[in-house]
Chains A and B, each alone.
Chain A
Amino acid sequence: MQIRYFAWLKDHTGCSQETIALPQEVSTIAQLIAHLEGRGAGYQRAFQNREVVRVAINQEFATHDDTINDSDEIGFFPPVTGG
């Protein structure tokens, strides 16, 4: 699974994108976040304020309850501030 991080999420994780093998027990975004938090302090900081973390599945807005599979591209980012 391809995961991309933007803005301060990228600052905390220290990478803008990575490919991970999706563990079998992970089937939702919320479970993916819990899994990523197990990878270290940077990830824990990135997802600390979980309710503000926005997510996209295959470049469409999604929720933390949505289900995912190994072929998806997931994007994590803060609320948008363009314009």
Chain B
Amino acid sequence: MCDISITVGPDDVSLDAEINQMSAAATGAIATFTGIVRDSGGELISLTLEHYPGMTEKKLHQIADQACQYWPLNAIRITHRVGRLLPSDMIVFVAASSAHREAALKAVHFIMDYLKTEAPFWKAEETSAGTHWVDARESDDKAKEKWQA
């Protein structure tokens, strides 16, 4: 059984607390990914994340379920922030635990590639020139396709 925990909300999270939550149930390996808001060479003032309440959590859960079917995992945590963020703020945290490193590392990579292309979040960038919605990147679709081979 894989223990899945999904959190989507405005609050900052402590990486220590996130990892501690995982290690309670884990023996062997915990792999993590932390996404941080880029400052884009000092251009970015803020990044605002919008999501589809309900669908976003459901989609993240489906992605985590899929990872649990592919690899022998003990637990998965996905935490994604929404609302207004500043450069160097944490935006996303993903952790997977398993008895061995390979499953944990692969699961985190897989979850991030799917989150990027399937979880309904949208970024708006605020710069001195104004605020605009960020366009989706083709390279993110390509990153997901490698898991479908």
Interface residues of A (CB under 8 A from B): 4, 6-8, 56, 59-61, 75, 77-83
Let me know if A59 and B54 touch, CB within 8 A.
Answer: yes
A61 to B115: give the CA distance in the assembly, Å: 14
Within 8 A of A (CB), among B1-24: none
A4 touches B52 (CB 8 A): yes
Cβ contacts under 8 Å, B119 to chain A? 80, 82-83
Residues of chain B within 8 A of A75, CB atoms compared:
52, 55, 120
* Chain A residue nearest in CB terms to B35: A83
Q: Looking at chain B's contact residues, is the secondary structure mostly helix, strand, loop, or mixed?
A: mixed
CB closest residue in chain A, given B55: A59
**Complex interface residues of chain B between 34 and 81 (CB less than 8 A to chain A):** 35, 49-52, 54-55, 58, 80
Measured CA separation A81–B135 after assembly (Å):
7
Return B81 CB to nearest CB of chain A, in Å.
10
**B122 close to A83 (CB less than 8 A):** no
In the complex, A35→B120 CA distance in Å?
A: 25
Could you list 20 examples of A-B contacts with CB < 8 Å?
Answer: A6-B50, A6-B52, A6-B122, A7-B133, A56-B55, A59-B58, A61-B118, A77-B52, A79-B135, A80-B118, A80-B120, A81-B121, A81-B123, A81-B137, A82-B80, A82-B115, A82-B119, A82-B120, A83-B115, A83-B119
Encode contact with A along B97-124: 1 for CB under 8 Å, 0 otherwise.
0000000000000001001111111111
Q: Which residue of A lies closest to B113 (CB)?
A: A83
A16 CB to nearest chain B CB (Å) = 9
- Which of A4, A56, A80 is close to B122, meaning CB atoms less than 8 Å apart? A80
Residue of B nearest to A7 (CB): B122
Our pick among B54, B122, B124, B133 for the contact of A82 (Cβ within 8 Å) is B122
- Of the candidates A8, A77, A82, the one whose C-beta lies within 8 Å of that of B92 is A82
Q: Which residues of B contact A59 (CB under 8 A)?
A: 52, 54-55, 58
Residues of B within 8 A of A56 (CB): 52, 55, 120
Query: Which one of A61, A75, A80, A82 has the highest number of Cβ atoms from chain B below 10 Å of its Cβ?
Result: A82
